[in-house]
Amino acid sequence: MLSNRKAFGVVEMIVSLILIGTLMATTIPLIGLLNAQQAQSKRQMIDQQIALNLVEVLQAVTPDQIQTQEQLVELAKSVNPNSLRLIEIKAAEPDDLNRIRFDISIIEAGNDQSKPMRLSTWRTMSGGTNE
């Protein structure tokens, strides 16, 4: 009569639960890792777009529009004014506003900060060429 069983026994049920538990224990952390990588990729894409916008603005202004570090900072703030993203911008040398280096980092509402991205650009001088 034992050979005509039509349902799982206790041993089979325990083995099934162990297999399902093992599968879930390996899958759930993997899903969390993929979500974290997706969020980081999105942050980097936003950083890069802000950087490209900033470089475009810096290339478009004339040299006489930026004479001081304060004017440079105001210009950087105008690129993304209503955002939680901070842009730190400074001239590579204090007296040289034609070579500009800037760092961009995102600070989200939860105070999560991404790794800063450092970029450099050169502005066209008044003669129309970079020297």
Q: What are the tens digits of pLDDT across the range 43-75? A: 778 777 877 887 788 778 777 777 777 777 777
How many beta carbons lie within 10 A of that of residue 103, not counting itself?
14
Domain count, the chain: 1
Q: What share of the chain is helix, strand, coil (3-state, %, to 5)?
A: 50, 20, 25
74: domain range?
A: 43-122
Structure pTM?
0.56
Confirm if 44 and 114 have CB atoms less than 8 A apart. Answer: yes
DSSP 8-state class, residue 89: E
21 lies in a domain? no
Does 35 fall in a domain?
no
Within-domain flag for 20: no
pLDDT one-digit tens code per residue, 22-31:
999 999 999 9
Please indicate, yes or no, if residue 28 is contained in any of the structural domains. Answer: no
In a domain, 113, yes or no: yes
